[in-house]
Structure 1
């Protein structure tokens, strides 16, 4: 193998160097997902999902082609590498990959319509000298953000095993979990 020079495109991620640092984009990959879903000419929407909609496995018709649903949901999971703005919505539709219903497909299509309007979005990485790992606590979830040089590199989210009665209790549990995991 030989050195081909500076990296510009890797595993579907385009890397552009600019004055601010590096810009990572999956524009071509997102356009391909829209093409596979036959939604290249769809109208766009302003949010990836309706926050008021509660997805469940209700008594409604199955998705006619669950294989296509699963394929698109998996493709959207890969797109979240440079598009953290769709992470929550994609995680919600992936909960029902085993038994997708029409409501789940409608939410998936809403995410695709959002992608259509935001094809040029990506992840900007800035040069910096700080390193860090910051836990963030919410009532039911513990999230760990890995931020070397002020740039989000990875994150994880884990549902806590017990329900807390207050935010303070939730934070204490989260701190205890992080300390236990670290040691």
Structure 2
């Protein structure tokens, strides 16, 4: 089990009580848990999955030593009919599943992993090549990690974006957002929208709505943890039409 608190006396008492009821062993401070490496520094905690990522690369039998600067080519689109079906898709499914788990500490690959995950039922050679691109990118950024600072402020900030009709198959858009608590990233998501948007502004508004839902939940979670946020949470979006729509909607709410 994992116990997190700054009350060392309370932790010792709890461990003593548990040892009286269960057979357990104290492994000391958390260093490694379910493929996630945890490093303790005066500035905070560092979360990494570098060893897990290296194991995924080895499991994929990637023999060359090439690295890539990006996990996927710019503006590339994949379908289920652009290549030859794989003779055995077992390894493809295993690697994609591992990459999904890797997004716990690697938000930079969340979007591309979502793309290749769509084809796990019937992958083709082009999709397998895309997986190799992601693995080569991971090899070049193997030690990239998340820092949770102990001195950061508790200001919550949200960023959202969307690509309009980015999926060539069904013309649905993809929502992407990330939320920072002070200087460190605490929440991110990349997901295809459930309906077709008729404009880029509509796609962006749907993305902002999903982001707002996450922000509300995080504010409740922080409040339950004893962290009170009195200031409003700023949300950033790069679509002027969507910003104007949101601004007009807020004006109507406050004038009721």
TM-score class, shorter-chain normalisation, is 0.7 to 0.9
Is contact 2:177-2:207 (8 Å) kept?
no
Contact 2:157–2:182 under 8 Å retained in 1? no
CA RMSD, Structure 1 to Structure 2 (Å): 2.8
Q: CA 1:63–1:11 in 2, change beyond 3 Å: closer, same or farther? A: same
- Cα separation, 2, equivalents of 1:22 and 1:148: 14
Q: Cα–Cα, structure 1 residues 62 and 11, in superposed 2: closer, same or farther, change >3 Å? A: same
Aligned residue for 1:148? 181
For 2:41 and 2:177, how far apart are their aligned partners in 1? 28
Partner of 2:94: 71
Structure 1 match to 2:195: 161
Cα distance in 2 for residues equivalent to 1:11 and 1:120:
17
**Mapping 1:41-52, distance limit 5 Å:** 41-52=64-75
Q: In the aligned structure 1, how far is the partner of 2:105 from the partner of 2:211?
A: 26
Q: Structure 1 unaligned runs (5+)?
A: none
- Equivalent residues, number: 182
Unaligned runs of 5+ in 2: 1-23, 165-172, 218-256
The counterpart of 1:89, out of the listed 112, 127, 147, is 112
- Identify the range of structure 1 (84-93 vs 11-20) with the bigger mean alpha-carbon deviation: 11-20
Maintained 8 Å contact 1:133/1:144: no
Could you say which residue in structure 1 is the equivalent of 2:43? 20
Name which of 136, 141, 161 aligns with 2:160.
136
Contact 2:174 2:190 in 1 (8 A): yes
